[in-house]
Amino acid sequence: MKGTAVRLGDDINTDQIIAGRYLRTTDKSVWAEHAFEDLDPNLSSRLKGSVIVAGKNMGCGSSREQAAVALKEAGVVAVVAESFARIFFRNAVNRGIPLFEVPGGCTCSDGDEVRISLEGSWVEINGERYRALRLSDKMMEIIDAGGIIELRRKGI
């Protein structure tokens, strides 16, 4: 799999991913439309087919799962970060979003092509291959199914 890099910094919080004023709905397209609005109002238009490449503590703050849903609905292929805040990490897994935690981070700019392999636990940018932490079997099972809802539907 591959996507176009959207480069973000450290400590991106879930209020920035989707602001509290958009939470009270069950219409997922609202969250995709307003994703990252307070960080950069033009960012949501670049999310389709993108790989988010963030710094440390990606997704910190509120437990709002709308943050993960927003990224999925907007067409984000995967999220790479130097480290993740744990609730966002679980939410993204539960929504079937491939995650790559690369200790030490990646050298990457906006627009770079990012190749990823969940099975191989690696991320490749500009010819440089970075090793990502291996997800647990349970997490892989959830992501493979497309998320925890899909997994439960199958009665697993």
Partner 1 sequence: MSTLSERILRGEAGSFVDVPVDRALSHDGTGVQALTAFREMGLSRIARPDRTSVVYDHIVPANNSVTADLQADLRRFAVSNGVHFCDIGEGICHQVMSEGVVIPGEVVVGADSHTCTMGAFGAFATGVGASDMASIWATGETWFKVPETINIRLEGKLPEYVEAKDIALRYVGLLGAGGATYKAIEFTGDNSLELDDRLTISNMSVESGAKAGLFYADDVTCRYLRGHGRDAVPQKAEDCSYVREETIRLDDLEPLLAVPHKVDDVRPVSDFEGTPLDQVFVGTCTNGRYGDLKRFADIVKGKKVRVRTVVVPASRAVLLRAIETGVLRDIVESGAVVGNPGCGPCLGAHQGVLGEDEIGLSTANRNFKNRMGVGAKYYLSSPTTAAFSALKGEIASPEDFP
Query: Is position 76 an interface residue for partner 1 (rule: CB under 8 A)?
Result: no
In the bound complex, what is the minimum distance in angstroms from residue 66's beta carbon to partner 1? 7
In the bound complex, what is the minimum distance in angstroms from residue 7's beta carbon to partner 1? 18
28 contact partners, CB below 8 Å, separation of at least 6: 69, 70, 73
Q: Which stretch binds partner 1 (CB under 8 A): 41-49, 70-78, 85-93, 114-122?
A: 85-93
Task: Determine which residue in the list 4, 7, 10, 145 makes contact with partner 1, applying CB under 8 A.
Answer: 10
Query: Is position 63 an interface residue for partner 1 (rule: CB under 8 A)?
Result: yes
Q: Which long-range contacts (CB under 8 A, 24 or more apart) does 32-35 make?
A: 32/70, 32/73, 32/74, 32/75, 34/70, 35/70, 35/71, 35/74
Query: Is position 95 an interface residue for partner 1 (rule: CB under 8 A)?
Result: yes
Spatial CA neighbour of 33 closest among 49, 20, 22, 21: 22
Task: Take residue 60 and report the two structure tokens written for it.
Answer: 């910190």
- The footprint of partner 1 (CB under 8 A) covers 10-11, 13, 15-16, 19-21, 23-26, 38, 56-57, 60-66, 68, 83-87, 90-91, 94-95, 136, 138, 147-149, 152-153
